[in-house]
């Protein structure tokens, strides 16, 4: 095979075989296919697309380009969840303990965040001593005994994806459904779980801004997962405003704990319960979503999920006392309210800008080398459709640097649009995508 011929084939809208796609991925990963040829191929894909089988072949080839997490020694059906990313998205901290408290193994590989807030690992480091650098043996033992463990991503997990994504980023070939879907799913397949539940965000703070695009991405990823032999479900959720009320690492952990106590925000609870329900259905623990929700509510009400969170933190070296007393978490030194400049209704929130406010305060990373201040962030008081009077608090900013606080305050004010007419509060969950089709809400 020659790369020239394969580029030409895709340029002419012809279908590539699994072997041809494997040749491309292997060649680029090993360096025998140069950047300029891979760039041409990626542009041909962006212009002419790939069908489901081609996309699945690309995904599997990228997943097998490096290490595969072997979960065969973990008992039971392994479940995992992936979010396409949003502001205030801390669902893993809620649904992980919830699902594990029902005896379903949650073996999760997570990364650190690059952007407005940290990733799941950064958030969990709010607990003094918590570590994700545990051995494979300890990881498997933890999942088998307490049904939950989270480790950092290995450097060699789907290396083809890492290399291809870096090239897409500089060649204007990011925004193609097949390439986006294969990038996400290659890492999920390499992570070894039997059931994959996807949280596909839509709205102003999401990668996919429109419901139509979010549904298209969800359908593609469900198809890929199904072809790859994984039970795959996608839940389309709202990101026209932050999820919950907290944006920032420790603040989000506290909100997750509040939710496990039954005292969290309704939208965070709804998204977490919906995602967790499909994990239970996929694992065969519940016959349908209604039965799954009843099981999950019971674990919230009897304290099992909260206790499981503490057990998980302890098992990975962390101080679990803050699970039962959040006053023990490290606090930011400064707190200041951002108030409404006029009376009216919250008609629009530039959700990305709320996220950037947390970044300005020090809660996120501008580069991989940036240090995160886990104590800073934003606590939101007003959301879409809410009425606000002049001088009333829209949010409270938590900071450790006065100059950063001033800049963050200006940024947050620009994120809010206050109008005269009340708008409808957005749905929290828009649709469910399975191999059998789409269910809209």
Query: pTM here?
Result: 0.92
Q: Would you call 187 a catalytic residue per the annotation? A: yes
Claim to verify: residue 232 and residue 304 sit in the same structural domain:
yes
Tally Cβ neighbours within 10 Å of residue 120. 25
Q: Would you call 162 a catalytic residue per the annotation? A: no
Residue 150 lies in a domain: yes
Claim to verify: residue 125 and residue 248 sit in the same structural domain:
yes
Residue 176 lies in a domain: no
pLDDT value at residue 117: 65
Q: List Cβ<8 Å contacts ≥24 apart for 209-213.
A: 211/236, 211/430, 211/431, 213/177
The residue annotated as part of the active site, out of 178, 183, 204, 375, is: 183
The residue annotated as part of the active site, out of 78, 147, 163, 187, is: 187
Claim to verify: residue 283 and residue 383 sit in the same structural domain:
no
Claim to verify: residue 116 and residue 208 sit in the same structural domain:
yes
pLDDT value at residue 365: 75
Let me know: does 312 contact 96? Beta carbons within 8 Å: yes
The residue annotated as part of the active site, out of 10, 78, 81, 82, is: 82
The residue annotated as part of the active site, out of 161, 199, 238, 373, is: 161
pLDDT in tens, 245-290: 999 999 999 999 999 999 999 999 999 999 999 999 999 999 999 9
Claim to verify: residue 250 and residue 380 sit in the same structural domain:
no
The residue annotated as part of the active site, out of 168, 219, 299, 411, is: 168
Please report which confidence band the pLDDT of residue 191 belongs to, taking 50, 70 and 90 as the band edges: confident
Q: Would you call 82 a catalytic residue per the annotation? A: yes
- In 3-state terms the chain splits into helix, strand, coil percentages (rounded to 5) of 45, 15, 35
Residue 245 lies in a domain: yes
Which of 293, 324, 355 is the last residue before a domain boundary?
A: 324
Buried-state track 216-230, b at ≥16 Cβ within 10 A, e below 16: bbbbbbbbbbbbbeb
411: domain range?
A: 331-419
Residue 68 lies in a domain: no
Residue 70 lies in a domain: no
Look at residue 203 and give its three-state secondary structure.
coil
Tell me how far apart the alpha carbons of residues 333 and 376 are, in angstroms, rounded to a whole number: 9
Q: Which of 67-81, 151-165, 245-259 has the lowest mean pLDDT?
A: 151-165
Mean pLDDT of 87-95: 94
Claim to verify: residue 194 and residue 310 sit in the same structural domain:
yes
CATH number of the structural domain spanning residue 286: 3.40.1030.10
pLDDT in tens, 338-377: 999 999 999 999 999 999 999 999 998 776 667 889 999 9
pLDDT in tens, 4-20: 999 999 999 999 999 99
Please report which confidence band the pLDDT of residue 114 belongs to, taking 50, 70 and 90 as the band edges: low
């Amino acid at each position: 095979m020659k790369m020239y011929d394969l580029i030409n084939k895709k340029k002419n809208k012809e279908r590539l075989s699994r072997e041809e796609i494997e040749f491309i991925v292997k060649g680029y990963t090993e360096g025998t296919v140069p950047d300029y040829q891979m760039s041409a191929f990626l542009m041909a894909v962006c212009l002419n697309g790939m069908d489901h089988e081609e996309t699945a072949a690309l995904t599997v080839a990228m997943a097998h380009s490096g290490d595969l997490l072997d979960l065969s020694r973990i008992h039971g059906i392994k479940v995992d969840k992936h979010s396409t990313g949003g502001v205030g998205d801390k669902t893993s901290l809620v649904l992980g303990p919830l699902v594990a408290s029902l005896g379903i193994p949650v073996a999760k590989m997570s990364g650190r965040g690059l952007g407005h807030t940290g990733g799941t690992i950064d958030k969990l480091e709010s607990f003094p001593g918590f570590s994700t650098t545990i051995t494979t043996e300890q990881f498997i033992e933890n999942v088998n005994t307490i049904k939950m463990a989270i480790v950092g991503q290995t450097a060699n997990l789907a290396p083809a994806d890492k290399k291809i994504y870096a090239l897409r980023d500089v060649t204007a070939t990011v925004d193609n459904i097949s390439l986006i879907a294969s990038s996400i799913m290659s890492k999920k397949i390499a992570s070894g779980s039997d059931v994959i539940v996807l949280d596909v965000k839509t709205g102003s703070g999401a990668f996919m801004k429109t419901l139509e695009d979010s549904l298209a991405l969800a359908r593609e990823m469900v198809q890929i997962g199904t072809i790859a032999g994984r039970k795959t479900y996608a839940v389309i959720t709202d990101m026209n405003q932050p999820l919950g009320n907290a944006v920032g690492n420790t603040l989000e952990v506290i909100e997750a704990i509040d939710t496990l106590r039954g005292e969290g925000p309704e939208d965070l609870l709804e998204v977490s319960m919906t995602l967790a329900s499909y994990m239970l259905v996929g694992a065969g623990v519940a016959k349908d979503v209604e039965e799954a929700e009843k099981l999950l509510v019971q674990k919230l009400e009897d304290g099992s999920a909260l206790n499981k969170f503490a057990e998980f933190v302890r098992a990975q070296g962390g101080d679990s006392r803050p699970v039962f007393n959040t006053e023990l978490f490290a606090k930011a030194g400064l707190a200041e309210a951002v108030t409404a400049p006029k009376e009216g209704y919250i008609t629009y929130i530039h959700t990305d800008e709320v996220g950037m406010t947390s970044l300005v305060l020090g809660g996120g990373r501008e580069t991989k080398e940036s240090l995160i201040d886990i104590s800073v962030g934003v606590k939101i008081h007003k959301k879409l459709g809410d009425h606000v009077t002049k001088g009333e608090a829209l949010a409270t900013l938590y900071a450790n640097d006065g100059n950063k606080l001033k800049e963050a305050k200006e940024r947050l004010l620009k994120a809010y649009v206050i109008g005269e007419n009340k708008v409808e509060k957005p749905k929290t969950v828009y649709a469910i995508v399975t191999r059998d089709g789409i269910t809209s809400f």
